[in-house]
A and B are shown apart, each in its own frame.
Chain A
Amino acid sequence: MRCRLAGLNTVLALLPISVLADSVLEGRVELPKSHSAPVMAKRYEIVTHSGVLSTQPPLAVVYLDGSFPKQTSPPTKQIVQKDLTFIPALLPVQVGTRVEFPNLDDTYHSIFSYSPAKRFDLGRYRPEERPIPSEIFDKAGLVTLRCDIHEHMRGLILVLNTPHFAMTDAEGRFRLGGLPSGHYTLKAWIDSKTTHEQLVELKRGETVRVDFP
């Protein structure tokens, strides 16, 4: 009998959460009007390329706050350095995720962070560096990425305790699917100083709409 129950537990544990949780949250976040148009300091570079750095529209991260099981097999995500820019400029990840930082430019980058949630320095590395330099983000919080060589480069990793998060599009729209039923706090992270939140009740099979002013 005990053996059968253990077998049932194993089967339940292997079922994807979305089978048991199929609520949907969608809505819109009012995004800031400003956008980042960085300027590169080329004062002492003998070789410079023409062109301008790409602009970054403001985006938000919407996530369901609560107590959720930790990841059993943490995924690996990437933030690439291309055209002297972090792509994506904002990456939400769950605690325990490994993030790789491939260099796709034909010059050195030197990625580092002094953020309390993750302090690291990858040093100077080439485009062909193998294995691709990476870090595991094992503490929730905001991590600001910078390059020691290219002062204008800035990227953000928002490390979350929840597996239920989504980025908005440039219009602020978001959709979170496969959510478990229950009472939760839905948060919309705008920037390091601005996070909106609303209480939500999710029922099985329902779609709930939430707009953040």
Chain B
Amino acid sequence: MKLLRALSFCLFVCAANAFEIDDVLDRLDNALTIAAFQDNLRARLSGTIDVELYHFQQPAPGLIDSNIDNLFNPRLTFFLDAQFGPHVYFFAQSRLDRGFDPSDHGAQIRLDEYALRVTPWEDGRFTLQVGKFATVVGNFVPRHLSWDNPFINAPLVYENITAISDKAAPASPQDFIRRFEAHAKYEFNPVIWGPSYASGVSVSGRVGQFDYAAEMKNSSLSSRPESWNVTAMGFDQPTFNARVGFRPSQAWNLGLSASDGAYLRREAAPTLPPGRDIDDYRQFVLGQDVSYALHHLQLWAEFYEARFEVPRVGDADTFACYFEVKYKFTPQFFAALRWNQQLFGTVPDGAGGRVRWGDDLGRVDAAIAYRFTTHTQLKLQYSFQHETTGPGDDNHLLAAQFTVRF
């Protein structure tokens, strides 16, 4: 209750003093931007403060890791953007929060992203980037941060936990199906874990109406945040991701993505069948994405077909997609709606038959947002998730997120 009162007070102050707050934060922005060597070295420190409140049913949906139904999840994020002359750019992102995904755990601080980018030519035909950074696959990454994401959470494919576990191989097909425990979600993996800030190297650029990007990362798209650090997972089993984009006009952007890499962590090696290595079990992903934008309307859609090679089971296939629309009704108010779907294939059940390896489900996300100032934003979201196979469980989620951008 105290928290709600504090949040209400913040909103009241923002609404009443919007212009002054904007001015102060603009001045802070200027103070946090420096230049030297005749402006050849420029650096800017910026960030966001996110205060999130969740109310949901157990088991908590998506990657929310909490045994309590009402979750308070604050987050402080710092960004560093630096330009060294016309060709070299560096960026970093560090967060102080309760975990990479919303959780009821204690505070932790992480360096989530850091990368050095070299762009030799002015026309953007080629860029080389090295470091720990978001994947080039799909079209969600450019809007995954709290200020840009119309929603508070990610599309289903980026956060729905499946029966795949990168920590241990199943002992049998039955074990693969039955061991999945929604409450122990951090033992399992989604198809793509968030924006997948894995470490590696990428090349990208544009040729006419086409753009391309390819990367070699140290861990697969489904890998957990702990696997993204190069110190945790080396490049013994690299993952290769690529995307080709076609932009017939500024309004449309179409893309095809692909990914191939080993998805098991080293601790899974002792649980594998004799003579097999973690590199023998791979995650393949094919993706198609499309986006459209004109005036106050924006649309996005992604389609993913994923295959996991599961020890002692075989191929586990899944298909996931979503359609998302955002419309800005006034300069400060917008609303968004998203339909998500994930379908699961079948695997051998060990008794001569086949069984679905996950419950098909759909989820509707609806959000409204109001920008009090150019630096403060409030989002409210309701999500309804429904399993269309299996027990047919439903889950309702209510969430609020207040963001201050500086």
Q: Say if the beta carbon of B101 comes within 8 Å of chain A.
A: no
Q: Say if the beta carbon of A68 comes within 8 Å of chain B.
A: no
Q: Say if the beta carbon of A51 comes within 8 Å of chain B.
A: yes
A107 to B142, alpha carbons, bound, how many Å?
15
Q: Say if the beta carbon of A108 comes within 8 Å of chain B.
A: yes
Across the interface, which residues of A come within 8 angstroms of B136, CB to CB?
46
CB-based contact A50/B122 at 8 Å:
yes
CB-based contact A41/B79 at 8 Å:
yes
Main secondary structure of the interface of A (DSSP, over half): loop
Number of interface residues, chain A, beta carbon within 8 A: 41
Residue of B nearest to A122 (CB): B295
Across the interface, which residues of A come within 8 angstroms of B280, CB to CB?
none
A125 to B296, alpha carbons, bound, how many Å?
9
Across the interface, which residues of B come within 8 angstroms of A43, CB to CB?
79, 81, 91, 93, 113, 115, 133-134
Q: A44-B142, A52-B42 are in contact. Are A112 and B331 (CB under 8 A)?
A: yes
A70 to B20, alpha carbons, bound, how many Å?
30
A38 to B46, alpha carbons, bound, how many Å?
12
Number of interface residues, chain B, beta carbon within 8 A: 63
Q: Say if the beta carbon of B186 comes within 8 Å of chain A.
A: no
CB-based contact A47/B328 at 8 Å:
no
A61 to B123, alpha carbons, bound, how many Å?
36
A144 to B23, alpha carbons, bound, how many Å?
10
Residues of A within 8 A of B (CB): 34, 36-52, 55, 107-108, 112-116, 119-127, 144, 146, 152, 154, 192-193
26 of the cross-chain contacts (CB-CB < 8 Å) are: A37-B39, A38-B44, A39-B43, A41-B91, A43-B81, A43-B113, A43-B115, A43-B134, A44-B134, A46-B204, A49-B123, A51-B122, A55-B39, A107-B250, A114-B373, A116-B19, A121-B296, A121-B330, A123-B294, A123-B295, A123-B297, A124-B293, A124-B295, A124-B296, A125-B295, A126-B251
Per CB-CB distance, the 5 closest pairs between chain A and chain B, nearest first, are A123-B295, A121-B331, A37-B35, A39-B44, A50-B119
